Amino acid sequence: MTGGQLDVQHFDAVVVGAGFAGIYMLQKLRESGYSIRVYESADNVGGTWYHNRYPGARCDIESIYYNYTFSEEILNEWTWSSRYAEQPEILDYINFVADKLDLRRDIQFNTRITTARFNETYDFWEIDTDAGYLITAKYFITAIGCLSASNIPNMKGLDSFKGEMYHTGKWPHEEVDFKGKRVGVIGTGSSGIQAIPFIAKEAGHLTVFQRTPQYSTPAQNHAYDPDFLRQIRRNYSEIKQLMCSSMHGVPSFPREELAIEVSPEVRNQRYEKAWQEGGLFTMLYQFGDLGFGEQANETAQEFIRAKIRQIVRDQKTADKLMPKYIYGTKRPIIDTDYFETYNRDNVTLVDIKAEPIEEITPTGLRTAEADYELDMIVFATGFDAMTGPFFKMDIRGRGGVSLKEKWAGGAQLKTYLGIATAGFPNMFMITGPQSPSVLSNMLVSIEQHVEWISDFLDYLRKNNQEVFEAAIPAEEAWSQQCREAAEMSLLPKSDSWYMGANIEGKPRGILPFIGGVGLYRQICDEVAAKGYEGFLTGQASRALHNKSY
Ligand code: NAP
């Protein structure tokens, strides 16, 4: 406060989050001469890769594609060590970029944005932080990640546990010591499947509490050959083009051939080749009908189930590990020695569909069948995906309506292109719900959104427009298109976080746009080419900088 007045800082844009999305947005808007400040609750850059530091955490997109492509210099200066980079290496990379572009001076760390209200009188955002001061900004841009709201299920007795308790998505910075301990891991998604082999090697005993058995295929990780990297660098512009026009943001495409039209021998050869080759989408890309035909999909399921039976020696354990849902309707998983881990003497698998967890006790966990004594519980129970991170802030648009009111409580999710939402003027969402985001290589989707947003802001500035808002009919049409696209696929047939089905009480509905990054980019480019069709734009009610408090 100065002279009885509240000190208010004003920026052209405030960005929430200093992960891959936030720091590129900062660089891009700074280049265009906007005043911008990024707020980050952690004490450093990294976002997802800052928090998910559990043992075994790696990326499941190949490193050479999981990096920024906007700067040739950055591409040439950074060398990835292996096909699937580990979390510390990815974090080093983000730090390298932040340092190289001198981004930290415009990032305020250790500061969480708690509320953001659109001021309809002056057409700007009023933003509060947990540090207790007010900021105003013409544009409010969320770069909060799709998987940043950790989900710890509300289990009876949770607070009574006397041992150590962790969530993979909020892993501590200090080393967690598993040595000799009785560890329980709840959850077998990508995070659990990565962490379990590591924890098993150190723990006295590891008990895995599995609700849904998973299809997982070997990552086949390996160190990169320098000649291979040189070749990639030489051809990067071509590779980038392929990534941008692809389905999932990697430079490969599903084959057109149909699984149901080839012989079982050909199918098995293909699946075996995919198994040996590794890669997140390799198995799914073997045939054009695996994502749409249940009968075709069943052939890939059978192949993976047979592999699990071959790997896991104890057949009772193998039975419990048999996945039954439609392959690819939950995020595919790649692993290193996951199923092999169940051959260890110190690992037990508990099927919690057969014996549900009844409560957490002070000394462990009780299921319908038994008491498990544990020194540590690791929750690998995932996230309130895509919409959850927004609800950690109180975001209010026109008429004081909160985003939570708009999207939660059974209401249908509505956005325009996953970038903006009606009633929330001058707010952008980088890789928001109803954009391809989580179904793609995030870096490709992030760069596309950041560049598109930056172009839109330049367009507004050039045309003397200061306010934009998604028009309701455009939003209705896009949200309908997202739902219809999902209905054509097999995705709605499973209870996945893509469908919001992992969170109790969350309205069921497809969260990302499933049409692929290539088509999505084309749609966004057409919207821009038509003068940002579907957006209402106008001049601000009053000069923003004349406002005094
Ligand atoms: P997840 O895929 O949602 O898996 C959560 C696990 O916890 C599932 O096995 C789930 O069972 C179980 N679970 C949830 N609630 C439970 C409850 N109340 N009781 C018992 N079990 C419960 O979460 P995640 O493994 O953290 O992965 C989320 C996403 O993050 C991934 O799909 C991926 O996109 C990303 N990720 C990527 C990487 C990578 O790049 N390699 C690594 C980690 C994560 P159900 O299946 O029955 O719901």
Do 419 and 441 reside in the same domain of the chain?
Answer: yes
Number of H helices and number of E strands within the chain? 16, 20
Which residue among 379, 399, 418 closes a domain? Answer: 379
Number of domains the chain is built from: 2
Do 366 and 495 reside in the same domain of the chain?
Answer: no
Query: What's the confidence (pLDDT) of residue 410?
Result: 59
Is the pLDDT assigned to residue 498 strictly greater than 70? yes
Instruction: Provide the whole-model pTM.
Output: 0.96
Q: Say yes or no: CB of residue 500 within 6 Å of ligand 1.
A: no
Is the pLDDT assigned to residue 83 strictly greater than 80? yes
Query: What's the confidence (pLDDT) of residue 546?
Result: 45
Do 122 and 167 reside in the same domain of the chain?
Answer: no
- Atom nearest to 190 CA in ligand 1: 25
**Between 4 and 223, whose confidence is greater?**
223
Q: Where are the alpha helices (DSSP H) in 235-385?
A: 236-245, 264-277, 294-311, 315-320, 338-341
Q: How far, in Å, from the CA of 237 to the mean position of ligand 1?
A: 34
Which residue among 345, 379, 413 closes a domain? Answer: 379
- Residue 366 forms part of a structural domain: yes
Do 123 and 221 reside in the same domain of the chain?
Answer: no
Query: What's the confidence (pLDDT) of residue 2?
Result: 44
Q: Say yes or no: CB of residue 449 within 6 Å of ligand 1.
A: no
- Residue 3 forms part of a structural domain: no
What single-letter amino acid sits at 473?
A: P
- The predicted-structure confidence for 442-458, as pLDDT tens digits, reads as follows 999 999 999 999 999 99
Q: For the sheet containing 164-167, what is the strand order? A: 164-167, 376-379, 182-186, 205-210, 347-351
CA distance 470 to 426: 9
Q: Say yes or no: CB of residue 195 within 6 Å of ligand 1.
A: no
- Residue 274 forms part of a structural domain: yes
Query: What's the confidence (pLDDT) of residue 540?
Result: 78
Which residue among 379, 397, 413 closes a domain? Answer: 379
Q: Where are the alpha helices (DSSP H) in 101-210?
A: 190-202
Do 246 and 272 reside in the same domain of the chain?
Answer: yes
Do 542 and 426 reside in the same domain of the chain?
Answer: yes
Q: What backbone torsions phi and psi does residue 39 show, to the nearest 5 degrees?
A: -110, 135
Do 186 and 324 reside in the same domain of the chain?
Answer: yes
- The predicted-structure confidence for 193-221, as pLDDT tens digits, reads as follows 999 999 999 999 999 999 999 999 999 99
Do 527 and 505 reside in the same domain of the chain?
Answer: yes
Do 311 and 428 reside in the same domain of the chain?
Answer: no
Is the pLDDT assigned to residue 1 strictly greater than 50? no
Q: Where are the alpha helices (DSSP H) in 144-204?
A: 190-202
Do 35 and 142 reside in the same domain of the chain?
Answer: yes
Kindly state the tokens that stand for 95. 């730090």
- Residue 358 forms part of a structural domain: yes
Kindly state the tokens that stand for 279. 């890669």
Do 343 and 404 reside in the same domain of the chain?
Answer: no
Do 447 and 323 reside in the same domain of the chain?
Answer: no
- Residue 4 forms part of a structural domain: no
Q: For the sheet containing 357-361, what is the strand order? A: 357-361, 364-367, 371-373
Q: How many residues does the chain have?
A: 549
- Atom nearest to 169 CA in ligand 1: 26
CATH number for 85: 3.50.50.60
Is the pLDDT assigned to residue 7 strictly greater than 90? no
- Expressed as residue numbers, the domain containing 289 is 158-379
